[in-house]
Amino acid sequence: MLTVGDKFPSFDLNAVVDIDPAKAFERITDQSNKGKWKIVFFWPKDFTFVCPTEIASFGKLNGDFNDRDAVVYGVSIDSEFVHLAWRQNHADLKDLPFPMLADIKRELSAALGILDKNEGVAMRATYIVDPDGIIRFASVTDLNVGRNTQEVLRVLDALQTDELCPCNWQKGQDVLKAA
């Protein structure tokens, strides 16, 4: 699995950005939103139970990520058409403010090393990628366990200080000074 310090892989994927079929689809690449921090999170499958809770939570925090010059990309191995149908049929996903990327050929998931060996789906992985395309945070949880989106925001805040941040540090608190 790629991890902190590695270059995030190149990608070129179809994405769903709206529930209106006439304007639903867009191409997103590693060059999209150049110069911004990227929060890239993966979920195993659409039309499941844990996944929409996380996706909706990232949606609620999208403005906070944008305030920090970061964009959010959600990714699964489902097609853009499955993403669209799920968004159209799940109340918590209808107004999602970030793109849902379709890694249907599993190329990005494979390049990151996050395909579940038994299920063949993307693991529940989260990456924070800096404006230079370097992974600065990587986390994977079991397929059955949802992640803490507030923690992803907290880690982004800490990374953006470029300082030493103690355990449980929160934005606005003092950072550590090396003696």
Helix H or strand E encompassing 151: helix 149-161
The dihedral built from the CA positions of residue 3, 66, 149 and 51, taken in this order, carries a sign that is: negative
* Class of residue 109 by CB neighbours under 10 A (exposed 0-12, middle 13-18, buried 19+): buried
Strand residues in 109-178 grouped as ranges (E): 124-129, 135-141
Say how far apart CA 69 and CA 160 lie, in whole Å.
10
Give the amino acid at 11: F
Q: Which member of 13, 39, 51, 102 is catalytic? A: 51
51 is catalytic: yes
Active site residues: 51
